[in-house]
Amino acid sequence: MDTIAAESTSKATPKVGKFAGNIYSEEYFKDSVYYDNTKAFWTGYNMQSYLYADDCLNRSSLFMNSLHEWSLVSTRYRKVTELWDLFFTVAGTDANDSWYNCYLFYYDFYGAYEQKFENFADFGDIYLSFIFNMLQNSLNIKKQTENMIDSYAIHDTVTFT
């Protein structure tokens, strides 16, 4: 690959140069490489097509940010009442919204795949469907594998994920 093509490829896709840090003491979850990878996984597997998927991801991220905030406050201040007030505020809002929206997302996700599974007669039908699906998508799979190899070479972890 010549240098012009390599430069245009690296400019076209976001390049993540972050390193994993401690999300409790060093950085907020939304600013971390963990959020970038989770968001890339979410987009890659088209999770946003299910009900409450975006709410689950956003509320979980807010909960993780709140844990970071609580860690910062608990290490800076020694007033027990402030710590408990902040803890119950976090546990009562972001944590509650997080598990509830993620449960609703799971319920929709599970229901969709349960309905798909019921349409198959037996395991042979599932296997045959898998084989034909792989044949249908073989060119797309080849292209995506090549994209993964290129992303790995330029350390583009978002596209790779």
Q: Please state the domain extents for the chain.
A: 22-119, 121-161
Are the C-beta atoms of residues 157 and 17 closer than 8 Å to each other?
A: no
Lowest mean pLDDT, pick from 26-30, 74-78, 84-88, 135-139: 74-78
> Of 53-57, 73-77, 93-97, which one has max mean pLDDT?
53-57
Task: Kindly report, residue by residue over 91-132, the tens digit of the pLDDT.
Answer: 678 888 888 999 999 999 999 989 888 888 888 888 888 888
Q: Which of 1, 42, 35, 43 is nearest to 18 (CA)?
A: 35
Q: What is the pLDDT of residue 105?
A: 92
3-state secondary structure of 1: coil
When pLDDT is averaged across residues 15-41 and rounded to a whole number, the result is 72
**pTM of the predicted model as reported, rounded to 2 decimal places:** 0.62
58 pLDDT more than 80 = yes
Question: Residue 108 corresponds to which amino acid?
Answer: D
Residue 130 CA to residue 128 CA, distance in Å, equals 5
Structure-block tokens of residue 49? 């097509």
60 pLDDT more than 70 = yes
When pLDDT is averaged across residues 49-53 and rounded to a whole number, the result is 90
22 pLDDT more than 80 = no
